[in-house]
């Protein structure tokens, strides 16, 4: 069987959640599916060590500066159709094989429309409806996304397939104090820090985290050298975060180091007093798993899919309740035993999610869809 995969998102220079999902899932699919052939479609030439090539894996580099999916990829799969097409992190081209599978990661734009531009909301809505309608099966990251597809777009649960992702492969606590210290210096974290990693945008609810940290700082409930590190790229409407920091009264203790290089992530997480995921909505929340894998005590909101991911290995709070977040952080700062317990639970929880298991489910789905096409169903 020839499996075509849109690998364009996997080669992004600065990968975030969906791009990392594409990269790690494609790697796992190729490793697992040696009985099949794979054709990976790129809009730019990837580095040689990013994804495999040869031994049943061919690359199709088909560059185009704009409308690559619908014009270039659509034309390619129409002229040279694979047995089944998989789009893990974007949208199916308008012209696509009848035997196609797509992943829908989340419907957060419906819950928090003001966190997106009008154009972005329109496109996300169109792309999600298109994937749900056009794909033979829809892969979802969580039960929350499956239920949202049924609620908002009437997608039958029988059409969706749940395949939990995992975090960055081989993430583990960094025990070398020199390596942790070097990363702390590189990102100006100080010795004690509360960490957020993700895009700086309204949907992530970073402003509530800033206000909760400021509340603790004003009341002296955090040691004076504790910093809040907001790591990640600036997104749309990040100015609200700037205003919250300016009004916090402790702006000198808040660090914004920008995007975190992949090779620094484990050490940055390992050295954190706590990792916080305050989002209003997440389709899955890979950073939670990554923090757990590195032994960072986790505090996360109980919105959407996050309780599915965190299980009993995190302190959960209502994302609208600044006081509850502040209380959770104060507990972690004051209770070393609680931090140690959450670290152990988190590492155990993270091991339950693997790319191999995710790839097994996705590959089985691709095989099923291809066989339906062969039977003419």
Instruction: Write out pLDDT tens, residues 163-180.
Output: 999 987 789 999 999 999
Residues in the chain: 377
Percent above pLDDT 90 for the chain: 83
pLDDT category at 65 given cuts 50, 70, 90 is confident
Distance separating alpha carbons of residues 283 and 305, to the nearest angstrom: 6
pLDDT mean over 279-286: 90
In sequence order, which residues have a C-beta less than 8 Å from that of residue 304 and are 6 or more positions away? Answer: 106, 108, 111, 142, 144, 279, 281, 282, 283
pLDDT category at 372 given cuts 50, 70, 90 is confident
pLDDT category at 112 given cuts 50, 70, 90 is confident
Angle at 275 between CA 274 and CA 277, to 5 degrees: 140
Instruction: Write out pLDDT tens, residues 322-354.
Output: 999 999 999 999 999 999 999 999 999 999 999
pLDDT category at 377 given cuts 50, 70, 90 is low
In the chain, what are the domains? 2-166+354-374 (3.40.50.2000), 177-350 (3.40.50.2000)
What is the model's pLDDT at position 375? 57
Q: What is the DSSP letter of 106?
A: -
User: What distances in angstroms separate CA 243 from CA 197, 251, 376, one per listed residue?
Assistant: 19, 10, 58
Angle at 163 between CA 110 and CA 106, to 5 degrees: 10
> Is the distance from CB of 54 to CB of 18 less than 8 angstroms?
no
pLDDT category at 376 given cuts 50, 70, 90 is low
Computed on alpha carbons and rounded to an integer, the radius of gyration of the chain in Å comes to 21
Angle at 122 between CA 120 and CA 123, to 5 degrees: 65
Distance separating alpha carbons of residues 196 and 278, to the nearest angstrom: 9
Instruction: Write out pLDDT tens, residues 91-105.
Output: 999 999 999 999 999
Angle at 251 between CA 249 and CA 253, to 5 degrees: 110
Q: What kind and span of H or E run contains 112?
A: none
In sequence order, which residues have a C-beta less than 8 Å from that of residue 189 and are 6 or more positions away? Answer: 183, 195, 227, 229, 255, 257, 268, 271
Mean per-residue pLDDT over the chain, rounded: 94
**Count of Cβ atoms closer than 10 Å to residue 114 Cβ:** 10
Q: What kind and span of H or E run contains 258?
A: strand 254-258
pTM, full prediction: 0.88
pLDDT mean over 360-370: 97
pLDDT mean over 189-215: 95
What is the model's pLDDT at position 374? 60
Instruction: Write out pLDDT tens, residues 246-276.
Output: 999 999 999 999 999 989 999 999 999 999 9
Instruction: Write out pLDDT tens, residues 22-55.
Output: 999 999 999 999 999 999 999 999 888 889 888 8
**Is residue 373 predicted with pLDDT exceeding 70?**
no
């Amino acid at each position: 069987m020839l499996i075509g995969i849109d690998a364009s998102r996997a080669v992004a220079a600065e990968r975030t959640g969906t791009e990392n999902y594409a990269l790690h899932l494609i790697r796992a699919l190729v490793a697992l599916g040696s009985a099949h052939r794979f054709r990976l479609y790129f809009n730019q030439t990837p580095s040689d060590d990013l994804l495999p090539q040869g031994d049943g894996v061919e690359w199709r580099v088909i560059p185009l500066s704009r409308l690559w999916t619908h014009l270039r990829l659509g034309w390619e799969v129409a002229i040279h159709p694979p047995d089944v097409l998989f789009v893990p992190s974007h949208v199916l081209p308008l012209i696509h094989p009848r035997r196609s599978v797509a992943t829908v990661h989340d419907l957060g734009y419906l819950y928090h429309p003001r966190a997106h531009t009008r154009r972005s909301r329109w496109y996300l809505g169109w792309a999600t409806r298109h994937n749900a309608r056009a794909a033979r099966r829809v892969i979802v990251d969580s039960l929350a996304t499956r239920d949202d597809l049924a609620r908002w777009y009437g997608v039958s649960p029988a059409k969706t397939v749940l395949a939990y992702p995992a975090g960055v492969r081989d993430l583990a606590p960094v025990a070398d104090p020199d390596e942790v210290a070097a990363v702390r210096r590189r990102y100006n974290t100080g010795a004690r820090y509360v960490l957020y990693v993700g895009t700086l945008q309204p949907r992530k609810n970073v402003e509530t985290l800033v206000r909760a940290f400021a509340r603790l700082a004003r009341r002296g409930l955090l040691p004076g050298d504790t910093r809040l590190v907001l790591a990640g790229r600036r997104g749309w409407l990040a100015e609200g975060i700037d205003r919250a920091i300016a009004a916090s009264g402790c702006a000198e203790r808040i660090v914004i180091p920008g995007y975190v290089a992949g090779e620094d992530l484990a050490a940055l997480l390992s050295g954190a007093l706590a990792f916080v995921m305050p989002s209003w909505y997440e389709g899955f929340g890979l950073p939670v798993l990554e923090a757990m894998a590195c032994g960072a005590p986790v505090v996360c909101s109980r919105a959407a899919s996050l309780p599915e991911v965190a299980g009993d290995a995190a302190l959960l709070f209502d994302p609208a309740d600044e006081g509850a977040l502040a209380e959770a952080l104060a507990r972690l700062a004051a209770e070393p035993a609680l931090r140690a317990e959450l670290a152990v639970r988190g590492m155990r929880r993270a091991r339950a999610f693997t790319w191999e298991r995710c790839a097994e489910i996705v590959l089985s789905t691709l095989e099923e869809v291809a066989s339906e096409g062969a039977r003419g169903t």
